[in-house]
């Protein structure tokens, strides 16, 4: 049988269903983001680990110019190496009849029928390539999808200077290419860059590397030291132009996935706590009000012999029930959002399968946090209920005491209308609750602002990178570094207005025990097509001598201007030199270093300082130029700035579409939860006064002003507070979401403050108006009879 | 206006309210409560009228209808040239605003406003009000006008309520048990103030009371029973409020 007190609880919940639901909404938002972020994190981690494990993702990767295949045995003999496997990685330029823009592929060699020991190919369709059939390739699924290529499709390609026609025999993917990007690009573009796999013998022949390899993957024995093995491997491959071995942590595909997972984790530590904090506030005010209105009932129950514990527990159960509503709604929503987000991730990160599952402990932890927050909010009210003695509780509550305080004096001094005084004094009379309303609405605004400013950040980065730092129309990457003659060749092509060389020299930079692999980018002081631009959009001049380091790199190596860094060339000669750090630049992308070409040529000591070239062109000649460049055998790739920029914009737009709805809904959930509860409490407290005013001849709209005026005043105060909070919250989120790979600048557009304020104001107004409609239902007659 | 009204009963006064066949039925669930069962009445401008009767006899319902807070289920009610029963919600509000002053048993002051501001709540929206200070002086509280309700005694609070009601110079003052929560001496003081408003401003005063003693100050007394006016007494020799005790 349901006990009477529990029946009361159910009736209370029903009576306060609007308010309970509004708080539930906020708790639900907390739960949903928590379940979503951790669920996606868990699912992606599980999927990744299973994929890596099942398809033998390597532990260490190293590239070199060219090494005999026999090197694999030498590497395998290194202490700690379980499996070593060599392969060829060869870039190819692809030609599609109807497309002018350059399309590239990286062809990887595989054993018989596409088999390999490490980084094993997963075939989605078709079969593996025959080991020595020169025209058979497996293409990656993303590329196939983006370009509408099916089994049997033929692709014209230039591989190592020879034109050939490739046949798609399979479509697949591999664990070392969960994420891939063309060299020199900023954003992955599956339609312009593909990963292919070709039979080993066939690729040896096609790339002129019979009996040779240019890349190695290793699997470590359990418990082996990665650093130790890397050192040994680097020593062995050095003479073959090894560019330094890296572990999974620095392997591009895994590094990007990891940074994404880190962002998800950051999300769980910032967003749900905000919702939970607000829900704590709300439970505090709603329960506090309920207990004040139920003083007599509490007194009666105590007079009947219910103990303090029973009464306290009764009200605590109210908070628990409200939390439960939120937990149930949030769990379902979070699960669903996580699923759709995981599917979205599968667009960018290529997995052969996706495990979507949210571990029970995610739900349990989320629920515990939700119960905890609601419980903390309930403590004040529960203690007050327990502390009431029956005699006190059953006497009428003392009327709210207003005395001639500061606020009252202000009202008289400023000659504010009677209605104005009612509003101001009520706010001052309940400062705690007013503060809850202000801070709740402010947090809703802050959260919305902090999330949408990432869009501004992306746009700022776009502007920073594409308009300020990169001013070329086209950049041309060469298969291997060229001498300066190539610049003259390019300059003489039709439509080329200006040519500037560029080069990145792979080095290991050291400071004492600290070391970091980095490409030092060569530039000239009078370069016009590329510039180094800091996070604020200011161009930072290249130092006349010495190195300029990006801040993350300087911090990793603990280097400051004036310090000397030891620099060792990777690939080719293992020349070592020391260079002085001349300046530090705050950049948005990557860990980078710059120096004048002259300084680098001392290190490289070669006559081929041109790794790529930046071109300014006459747009009229664009098509012709691209066709001609694609035909040059020494050209590895062509990147068009406009196309990259457009792609970047598309990605931003897509993200806006996908996430904006969530952000707005969540921010609105807080605003609605806070305003609805404030309005209901305000209304219940003031119903008597409002009805009196109606009796005295005030119209509904005029009475509504007393109710809405107070809320409006609080919300108006909340807007600047919210903007300020958002300003700091956004910076915290920017810091937490930035990784080694890139960080978004904190560069909010002013309109984002306005937009966030508008959404919150709209949600608050709509909610307040719904409550204000109750003014029409005020029972004037009852006022005549009843004491408040 | 109904024909009957033109015959002016008594003292050559103008007629303030005319009601014909006023019925009020409340439906709560499956039970119907007939609060008024066809009441006809004429209330003279400037008279003091006391409504007497047991609980549930219909006097409060009538007061609410007369004050424009409620509508009869059927019948018609006129205030001077205006048919109240034909007004919509907004017009009824306007009617209360311009013509009616209310005084309640429990004062219904706004606790967050001082005495003067409580009066200003009404003078802010009235057409031709006296000043709040003036109204408070009229009830003898000129020196306490900056006090909040919580700082005033019950009698003082009720006098603020009276000041609030008379400040707009209403045509009609409606009082529902105005002395119900007060001791005898304080109650008399309040009634004196009401009588004074009636005398000075020519305000029609309609009072509900359980206290038959108060009937002595009325021009007429309506005795209510079962939703009808059972009898009407006319006081030939009414006494002043100060002479009353209970």
Instruction: Say if the Cβ atoms of B112 and A425 lie within 8 Å.
Output: yes
Would you say A221 and A212 are in contact if contact means Cβ atoms under 8 Å apart? Answer: no
If one compares A205 and A654, the residue with the highest pLDDT of the two is: A205
Angle value at C-alpha A571, between A81 and A576, nearest 5 degrees: 105
Which position has the higher pLDDT, A152 or A464? Answer: A152
Task: Give residues with Cβ within 8 angstroms of A283, minimum separation 6.
Answer: A23, A319, A322, A323, A373, A374, A377, A378
* Residue A480 included in any domain: no
On the question of pLDDT at B4 being above 50, the answer is: no
Residues of B in contact with A421 (CB under 8 A): 112-113, 117
Both tokens assigned to A618:
């006459």
Given B93, B98, B113, which is nearest A418 (Cβ)? B113
Q: What is the mean pLDDT of residues B22-29?
A: 88
Q: Share the mean pLDDT of chain A.
A: 87
Q: Which CATH code fits B46-68+95-243? A: 3.40.50.300
State the pLDDT at residue A366: 94
Tell me what pLDDT residue A421 has: 87
pLDDT at B27: 84
Closest alpha carbon within chain B to A700 = B90
Confidence of residue B193 (pLDDT cuts 50, 70, 90): confident
pLDDT at res. B5: 43
The pLDDT of residue B161: 92
B176 pLDDT higher than 60 = yes
| The last residue of a domain, from among A212, A227, A248 | A248
Q: How many helices (H) and strands (E) does chain A have?
A: 22, 20
B-chain residues near A693 (CB < 8 A): 121
pLDDT tens across A241-298, in order?
888 899 999 898 998 899 888 888 888 888 889 889 989 988 998 888 888 888 888 8
Q: Does A261 lie in the same domain as A167?
A: no
Residues A345-350 have a mean pLDDT of: 84
Query: Which segments of A551-663 are extended strands (E)?
Result: 564-569, 576-585, 593-596, 610-617, 635-640
Distance from CA of A408 to the nearest CA of B (A): 9
pLDDT for the residue numbered A75: 94
Domain ranges of chain B: 46-68+95-243
Q: How far apart are alpha carbons B71 and B56 in whole angstroms?
A: 17
Do A46 and A25 share a structural domain? yes
Given a contact cutoff of 8 angstroms between Cβ atoms, the answer to whether A88 and A108 are in contact is: yes
Nearest to A565 by CA among A581, A554, A585, A545: A581
DSSP string, A354-395: ------HHHHHHHHHHHHHHHHHHHHHHHHHHHH--HHHHHS
Residues A786, A723 share a domain? yes
Do A169 and A126 meet the contact criterion of CB atoms below 8 Å apart? yes
- Cα–Cα distance measured from residue A311 to residue A387, given in angstroms and rounded to the nearest whole number: 10
In terms of residue numbers, what domain contains A569?
Answer: 496-617
Confidence (pLDDT) at B231: 92
A208, A231, A248 - which closes a domain:
A248
Taken as a whole, chain B contains a residue count of 246
Of the ranges A298-302, B77-81, B233-237, which is most confident?
B77-81
Per residue in A740-779, pLDDT (tens digit) is 667 778 888 889 999 999 999 999 999 998 888 888 788 8
Q: Look up the ipTM and state it.
A: 0.87
Choose between B179 and A155: higher pLDDT: A155
Does the residue A405 lie in any domain?
A: no
Banded pLDDT at A719 (limits 50, 70, 90): very high
R_g (Cα) of chain B, nearest Å: 18
Confidence at residue A411, expressed as pLDDT on a 0 to 100 scale: 60
Q: Is A404 on the interface with B (CB under 8 A)?
A: yes
Strands of A463-563, DSSP E: 474-482, 496-511, 514-523, 547-550
CB-CB under 8 Å, B90 with A699: yes
Per-residue model confidence (pLDDT) at position A783: 67
- Number of structural domains found in chain A: 4
Same domain, A393 and A532: no
Which phi and psi (to 5°) does residue A509 adopt?
-105, 135
- B32 has a pLDDT exceeding 60: yes
Please tell me the distance in Å from B24's CA to the nearest CA on chain A.
Answer: 14
Long-range contacts of B85-91 (CB under 8 A, 24+ apart): B89/A700, B90/A699
What does the pLDDT read at residue A399? 65
Residues A435, A554, single domain; the answer is no
3-state SS, one letter per residue, for A160-193: CCEEEEEEEEEEEECHHHCCCCCCCCCCCCCCCE
**Distance separating the N- and C-terminal Cα atoms of chain B:** 41
CB pair distance less than 8 Å for B93 and A699: yes
Residue A624 lies in a domain: no
User: Tokens standing for A435?
Assistant: 């503060």
Distance between A415 CA and the closest CA of chain B, angstroms = 10
**pLDDT tier, A404 (very low <50, low <70, confident <90, very high otherwise):** low
pLDDT in tens, A732-751: 888 887 776 677 788 888 89
Asked if residues B146 and B115 have their Cβ atoms less than 8 Å apart, the reply is yes
Partners of residue B94 in chain A, C-beta under 8 Å: 697
Mean pLDDT of A369-374: 94
More confident residue, A101 or A325: A325
- What pLDDT, on a 0 to 100 scale, did the predictor assign at position A572? 64
Residue B8, pLDDT > 50, answer no
Per-residue confidence (pLDDT) for residue A455, from 0 to 100? 84
Q: Which secondary-structure segment (H or E) carries A581? A: strand A576-585
- Tell me which residue in B96, B125, B148 faces A402 most closely, judged by beta carbons: B148
Query: What whole-number distance in Å separates Cα of residue A591 and Cα of residue A574?
Result: 22
The rounded percent of chain B whose pLDDT value lies above 70 is 95
CB atoms within 10 A of CB A309: 11
Is A699 in CB contact (< 8 Å) with chain B?
yes
Contact by Cβ (8 Å): A75, A245 = no
∠ CA B95-B99-B105, nearest 5°, is: 100
Same domain, A561 and A503: yes
Distance CA A765, CA A709 (A): 11
Asked if A695 lies within 8 A of B69 by C-beta distance, the reply is: yes
Residues of chain B neighbouring A783 (CB-CB closer than 8 A): 104, 108
C-alpha A258/C-alpha A255 separation (Å) is 5
**pLDDT at residue number B6:** 41
Task: Tokens for A365, please give them.
Answer: 């932890």
Of A671, A624, A649, the residue nearest A459 (C-alpha): A649
Which residues, at least 6 apart from A646, have a Cβ–Cβ distance to it below 8 Å?
none
Q: Which of B112, B122, B146 lies at the smallest CB-CB distance from A696?
A: B122
| Res A298: pLDDT | 85
- B151–chain A Cβ distance below 8 A for any pair: yes
Pair A212, A121 in one domain: yes
Q: How confident is the model at residue A45 (pLDDT cuts 50, 70, 90)?
A: very high
Q: What is the nearest CA distance from B106 to chain A, expressed in angstroms?
A: 6
The C-alpha atoms of residue B193 and residue B162 are separated, in whole angstroms, by 8
Sign of the dihedral defined by the CA atoms of residues A350, A352, A357, A362, in that order: negative
Q: Which of B60, B125, B146 sits opposite A697 (nearest CB)?
A: B125
Q: Which residues of A touch B150 (CB under 8 A)?
A: 399-403
Same domain, A274 and A177: no
Query: Is the pLDDT score of B7 beyond 50?
Result: no
Q: Indicate if the pLDDT at residue B9 is higher than 90.
A: no
Task: Render pLDDT for A682-711 as a digit per residue (tens, 0 to 9).
Answer: 888 888 889 999 999 999 888 888 889 999
Nearest to B162 by CA among B130, B127, B180, B136: B136
Residue of B nearest to A702 (CA): B125
The beta-carbon neighbor of B112 closest among A402, A417, A784 is: A402
Tokens of B204: 């029609």
CA-wise closest residue to B53 among B78, B72, B36: B36
Q: Does residue B64 sit at the A interface (CB-CB below 8 Å)?
A: yes
CB crowding A197-206: b at 16 or more within 10 Å, else e: bbbbbbbbbb
Chain A residues touching residue B98 (CB < 8 angstroms): 697
Q: How far apart are the first and last CA of chain A?
A: 36
Residue A768 within a domain: yes
Asked if residue A663 and residue A540 are part of one domain, the reply reads no
Q: Is residue A483 part of a domain?
A: no
Summarize the confidence of residues A567-573 as an average pLDDT. Answer: 77
Distances (CA, A) of A272 to A33, A331, A336: 6, 13, 17
Mean pLDDT of the region B166-182: 89
- The percentage of chain A sitting over the pLDDT mark of 90, rounded to a whole number, equals 40
Tens digit of pLDDT for each residue in A47-89?
999 999 999 999 999 999 899 999 999 999 999 999 999 999 9
- Find tokens 């406003």 and name the residue: B113
Tell me the sheet residues that pair with B18: B42, B78
- Tens digit of each residue's pLDDT (9 = 90 or more) over B38-74: 999 999 999 999 999 988 899 989 999 999 988 999 9
Nearest-CA distance B171 → chain A (Å): 14
Same domain, A2 and A14: yes
pLDDT of residue A306: 84
For residue A524, tell me if it sits in a domain.
Answer: yes
Residue A198: the pLDDT is 96
Q: Do B93 and A429 touch (CB under 8 A)?
A: no
In angstroms, rounded to a whole number, what is the distance separating the alpha carbons of residues B46 and B172?
8
Question: Token digits for A382?
Answer: 């529960």
Give yes or no for B180 touching A (CB within 8 A). no
Average pLDDT over residues B75-81: 94
Cα separations in angstroms, B81 against B23, B77, B84: 21, 10, 9
Residues 370-399 of A with CB under 8 A from B: 399
Which site among B108, B118, B167, B210 would you substitute to test the A interface, given the most A Cβ atoms closer than 10 Å to its Cβ?
B108
Shortest alpha-carbon distance between residue B26 and chain A (Å):
13
**Contact indicator for A508, A517 with CB cutoff of 8 Å:** yes
Flag whether pLDDT at A413 surpasses 70: no
Residue A485 lies in a domain: no
Distance (Å) from the alpha carbon of B102 to chain A's nearest alpha carbon? 7
DSSP one-letter code for A466: I
Across the interface, whether the CB atoms of B106 and A786 are under 8 A apart is answered yes
């Amino acid at each position: 049988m349901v006990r009477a007190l529990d029946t009361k609880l159910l009736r209370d919940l029903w009576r306060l269903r609007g308010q309970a639901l509004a708080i539930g909404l906020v708790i639900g938002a907390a739960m949903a983001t928590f379940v979503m972020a951790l669920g996606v994190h868990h699912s992606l981690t599980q999927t990744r680990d299973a994929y890596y494990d099942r398809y033998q993702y390597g532990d260490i990767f190293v590239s070199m110019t060219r090494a005999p295949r026999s090197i694999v045995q030498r590497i395998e003999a290194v202490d700690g190496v379980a499996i070593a496997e060599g392969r060829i990685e060869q870039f190819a330029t692809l030609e599609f009849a109807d497309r002018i823009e350059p399309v590239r592929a990286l062809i990887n060699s595989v054993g018989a029928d596409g088999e390999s020991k490490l980084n094993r190919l997963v075939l989605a369709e078709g079969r593996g390539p025959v080991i020595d059939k020169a025209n058979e390739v497996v293409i990656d699924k993303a590329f196939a999808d983006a370009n509408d290529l099916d089994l049997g499709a033929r692709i014209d390609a230039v591989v190592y200077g020879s034109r050939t026609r490739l046949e798609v025999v399979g479509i697949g993917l591999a664990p070392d290419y969960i994420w891939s990007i063309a060299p020199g690009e900023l954003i992955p573009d599956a339609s312009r860059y593909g990963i292919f796999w070709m039979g080993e013998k066939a690729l040896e022949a096609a790339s002129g590397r019979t009996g040779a390899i240019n890349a190695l993957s290793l699997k470590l024995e359990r418990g082996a030291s990665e650093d130790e093995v890397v050192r040994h491997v680097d020593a062995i491959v050095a003479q073959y132009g090894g560019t330094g071995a890296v572990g999974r942590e620095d392997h591009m595909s895994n590094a990007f996935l990891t940074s994404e997972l880190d962002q998800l984790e950051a999300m769980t530590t910032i967003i749900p706590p905000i919702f939970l904090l607000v829900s704590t506030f709300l439970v505090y005010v709603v329960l506090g009000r309920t207990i004040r209105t139920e003083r007599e009932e509490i007194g009666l129950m105590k007079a009947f012999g219910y103990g303090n514990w029973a009464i306290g527990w009764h009200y605590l159960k109210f908070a628990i029930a409200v939390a439960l509503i939120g937990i149930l709604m949030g769990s379902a929503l979070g699960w669903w959002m996580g699923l759709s987000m995981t599917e979205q991730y599968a667009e960018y990160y290529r997995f052969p399968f996706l495990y979507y599952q949210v571990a029970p402990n995610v739900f349990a932890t989320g629920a515990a946090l939700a119960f905890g927050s609601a419980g903390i909010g309930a403590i004040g009210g529960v203690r007050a209920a327990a502390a009431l003695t029956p005699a006190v509780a059953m006497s009428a509550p003392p009327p709210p005491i207003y005395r001639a305080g500061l606020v009252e004096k202000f009202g008289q001094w400023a000659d504010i209308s009677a209605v104005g005084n009612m509003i101001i004094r009520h706010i001052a009379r309940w400062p705690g609750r007013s503060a809850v309303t202000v801070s709740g609405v402010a947090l809703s605004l802050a959260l919305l602002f902090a999330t949408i400013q990432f869009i501004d950040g992306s746009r700022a980065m776009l502007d920073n990178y594409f308009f300020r730092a990169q001013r070329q129309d086209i950049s041309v990457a060469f298969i291997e570094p060229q001498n300066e003659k190539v610049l003259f060749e390019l300059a003489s092509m039709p439509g080329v207005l200006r040519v500037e060389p560029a080069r990145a020299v792979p080095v290991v930079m050291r400071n004492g025990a600290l070391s970091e692999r980095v490409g030092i980018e060569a530039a000239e002081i009078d370069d016009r097509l590329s510039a180094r631009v800091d996070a604020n959009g200011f161009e930072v001049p290249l130092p006349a001598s010495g190195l300029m380091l990006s801040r993350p790199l300087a911090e990793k190596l603990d280097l400051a201007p004036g310090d000397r860094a030891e620099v060792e060339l990777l690939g080719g000669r293992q020349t070592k030199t020391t260079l002085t750090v001349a300046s530090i630049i705050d950049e948005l992308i990557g860990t980078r270093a710059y120096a004048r070409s002259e300084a680098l040529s001392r290190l490289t000591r070669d006559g081929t300082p041109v790794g790529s070239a930046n071109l300014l062109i006459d747009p009229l000649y664009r098509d012709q130029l691209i066709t001609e460049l694609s035909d040059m055998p020494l050209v590895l790739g062509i990147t068009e700035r406009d196309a990259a920029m457009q792609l970047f914009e598309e990605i931003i737009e897509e993200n806006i579409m996908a996430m904006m709805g969530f952000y707005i809904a969540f921010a609105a959930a807080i605003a609605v939860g806070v305003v609805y509860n404030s309005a209901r409490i305000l209304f219940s407290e003031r119903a008597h006064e409002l009805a009196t005013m109606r009796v005295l001849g005030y119209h509904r709209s005029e009475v509504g002003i007393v109710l809405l005026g107070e809320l409006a005043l609080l919300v108006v105060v909340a807007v600047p507070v919210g903007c300020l909070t958002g300003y700091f919250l956004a910076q915290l989120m920017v810091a937490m979401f930035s990784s080694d790979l890139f960080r978004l600048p904190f560069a909010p557009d002013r309109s984002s403050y306005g937009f966030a304020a508008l959404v919150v104001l709209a949600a608050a107004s709509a909610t307040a108006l719904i409550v204000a409609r109750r003014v029409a239902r005020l029972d004037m007659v009852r006022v005549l009879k009843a004491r408040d | 206006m109904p024909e009957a009204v033109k015959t002016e009963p008594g003292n050559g006064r103008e007629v303030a309210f005319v009601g014909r066949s006023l019925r009020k039925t409340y439906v709560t669930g499956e039970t119907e409560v007939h609060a008024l069962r066809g009441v006809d009445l004429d209330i003279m401008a400037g008279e003091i009228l006391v409504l007497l009767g047991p609980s549930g006899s219909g006097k409060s319902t009538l007061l609410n209808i007369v004050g424009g807070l409620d509508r009869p289920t059927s019948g018609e009610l006129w205030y001077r040239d205006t048919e109240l029963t034909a007004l919509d919600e907004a017009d009824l509000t306007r009617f209360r605003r311009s013509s009616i002053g209310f005084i309640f048993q429990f004062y219904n002051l706004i606790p967050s406003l001082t005495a003067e501001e409580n009066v200003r709540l009404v003078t802010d929206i009235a057409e031709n009000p006296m000043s709040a200070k003036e109204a408070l002086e009229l009830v003898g509280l000129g020196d306490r006008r900056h006090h909040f309700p919580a700082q005033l005694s019950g009698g003082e609070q009720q006098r603020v309520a009276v000041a609030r009601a008379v400040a707009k110079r209403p045509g009609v003052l409606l009082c529902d048990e105005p002395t119900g929560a007060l001791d005898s001496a304080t109650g008399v003081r309040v009634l004196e103030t009401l009588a004074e408003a009636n005398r000075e401003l020519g305000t029609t005063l309609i009072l509900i009371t359980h206290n038959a003693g108060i009937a002595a100050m009325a021009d007429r007394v309506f005795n209510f029973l079962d939703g009808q006016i059972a009898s009407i007494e006319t006081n030939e020799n009414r006494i002043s409020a100060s002479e009353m005790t209970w």
